Amino acid sequence: MAAASPGSTVQERALLEGARCGQDYAFGRLVGPYWPELHAHCYRMLGSVHDADDALQDTLLRAWRGLPGFDGRRSLRPWLFKIATNICLDAIASRPRRWLPTGYGSPAGVMERLDLGRAIVTRRHAANATKPRPRRCP
């Protein structure tokens, strides 16, 4: 994203004041440029497009409700990203734990099967080594 010019800062302040007065159009214009970035950020944190959609919606809702507390001395972008990050962390913390499937056995079982396979191969080689080899005529 390009650096903000003085004109865009004045426009952003005007939109911020309009959004604080309850103009949803002003809020949409204010946060609209950040939607793709915020969605990508939520997707990277959550790993699911659907969860990222929900997190983005919650971010915008929290930003709308918290707009009176935003001082406007800094850019809107870091404030929105902080909200989005906190929402994603809350979503990750509230997820149920993932359990391993029970029908597939443990990794130790796989290693035991590999060791058993090696033992069978070793026995075959040992058995073949002790067999008398047929003599060939010179």
- Annotated domain spans of the chain: 8-94
Please state, as a whole number, how many other Cβ atoms lie within 10 Å of the Cβ of residue 111. 10
Q: For the whole model, what pTM was predicted?
A: 0.61
Complete DSSP assignment for 76-118:
HHHHHHHHHHHHHHHHHHHSPPPPPPSTT--HHHHHHHHHHHH
Query: Which architecture, in CATH terms, is 8-94?
Result: Orthogonal Bundle (1.10)
Residue-wise pLDDT tens digits, 83-104: 999 999 999 998 887 776 666 6
Residue identified by tokens 């930003």 is 63
Decide which of 5 and 14 is more confident.
Answer: 14
**Neighbour-count burial of 55, counting CB atoms closer than 10 A to its CB (0-12 exposed, 13-18 middle, 19+ buried):** buried
Each residue's pLDDT tens digit, 36-86: 999 999 999 999 999 999 999 999 899 888 888 887 777 888 889 999 999
| 49/130: higher pLDDT | 49
